[in-house]
Amino acid sequence: MIFGGTFNPVHNEHVKTALACLKELKADKIIIVPTFLPPHKNVSPAKGADRINMLKIAFRGVKNVEISDFEISGGGKSYSYITAEHFKNLYPDAELFMIVGGDMLKDFKTWKNPERILDAVHLAVVSREDYACDYKAEREYFKNVFGKDFTVLDFTGKSVSSTEIRTGIAFGLKPQGLNDEVYNYIKEYAVYPPDKYQRYILDNLPEKRVIHTANVVVCALKKAKELNLDYEKVRIAATLHDCAKYDDYRNYKDFALPKNVPPPVVHAFLGAFVAEKVLRVADGEILDAIRYHTSGKADMSTLSKLIFVADMIEKGRDYDGVEILRAEYEKDFESCFRLCLKEEVAHLLNKKQYIYSETLNAYDYYVEDKRS
């Protein structure tokens, strides 16, 4: 049985999945195969040696588990058809299973040489609690296109975000769902060190705001691919959105504050200045996303909308109505954005606070005109 993935890093749910598959399929052994570079992801994983070592730690003492460096040693992009054929040649008389998630099953048709994969292995599908796969429709497709079937396991895995784990670690936080020994290895060998932007946040914001920042990063990155946004641009904008939250703008002699900006919005304009002048961020779209993440404005870029929304609905927020916004975020991003604008204006009206002109412009542009 082959269990592939980036394992970046390996977490407790990976171990539970492997054990469940061993038990349900009554397999002689499971071969864990970390990729070198995944073809379908835009994040370069940690060094192969570190991921191999973390897997050995996570599966230490677990019987019938083999950690393979086949894809790591091969280098380049790791394609499943090559791995499947390699192990089929290695075990020609064995019935080989390859573990895939329900979300991966839906995209299987887009994989390189899917027919060759199915000629070498039988797919074993693991459902996930946050993803509903139409197995009936997928079975029809597999039958009609490939002349093959797949096995759906009874085990349903919990949703664990590797992005959230890595982001938390880079921000100096201990994430849940990680083996303590794996976490100690990550700390000892600095597997996921903070970059210069994360380091700036760690050095200049209190822990509560660091946690909020990490949550915004995770929330925003969740939608990056769906919205066809550049992963790094989303990550940097989300990381720096509150970089000047506790700064006094009067300490920056070259900073010019626009007229009539209310105090709660000042940090956003100053944050764009700090990002550009101190941290040397030259991308205008990133700077705009930071500048307008609190107030919004008319005719925003998708990146600006995303940071505005993520700041309002990240998992640490607990105001009345936030769950409605989060549910809409999963279904329809543009609708969620408009709801967030309405929530922002309603909140300010309820508190009888001054509403900045850019916020009113955004409301008129998107809510009154119902633009997307």
77 in Cβ contact with 40 (< 8 Å): no
pLDDT for res 272: 98
Q: What is the pLDDT of residues 152-189, one digit of tens each?
A: 999 998 888 999 999 999 999 988 899 999 999 999 99
Phi-psi region of 296 (alpha: psi -120 to 50; beta: other; left: phi over 0): left
Of 220, 207, 144, the residue nearest 171 (C-alpha)? 207
Of 214, 208, 231, 232, the residue nearest 311 (C-alpha)? 214
pLDDT in tens, the chain (372 residues): 999 999 999 999 999 999 999 999 999 999 999 999 888 766 779 999 999 999 999 999 999 999 999 999 999 999 999 999 999 999 999 999 999 998 889 899 999 999 999 999 999 999 988 778 899 999 999 999 999 999 999 999 888 899 999 999 999 998 889 999 999 999 999 999 999 999 999 999 999 999 999 999 999 999 999 999 999 999 999 999 999 999 999 999 999 999 999 999 999 999 999 999 999 999 999 999 999 999 999 999 999 999 999 999 999 999 999 999 999 999 999 999 999 999 999 999 999 999 999 999 999 999 986 655
Beta strands in 133-262 (DSSP E): 151-157
Residues whose CB is less than 8 angstroms from the CB of residue 322 and which lie 6 or more positions away in sequence, other chains included = 312, 313
pLDDT for res 66: 97
Q: How far is CA 102 from CA 112, 164, 273, in A?
A: 18, 20, 44
pLDDT for res 43: 72
Task: Output the CA angle 50-42-235, nearest 5 degrees.
Answer: 95
Helix (H, G, I), strand (E, B) or coil at 72: helix
- The verdict on pTM exceeding 0.75 is yes
Q: What DSSP character marks residue 77?
A: B
Q: In the numeric block, which tokens belong to residue 106?
A: 């839906």
- All structural domains of the chain, each given as residue ranges with its CATH number in brackets, are 2-160 (3.40.50.620), 223-368 (1.10.3210.10)
CA dist 179 and 369 (Å) reads 50
H or E stretch covering 298: none
pLDDT for res 132: 82
H or E stretch covering 101: strand 97-101
Q: What DSSP character marks residue 159?
A: P
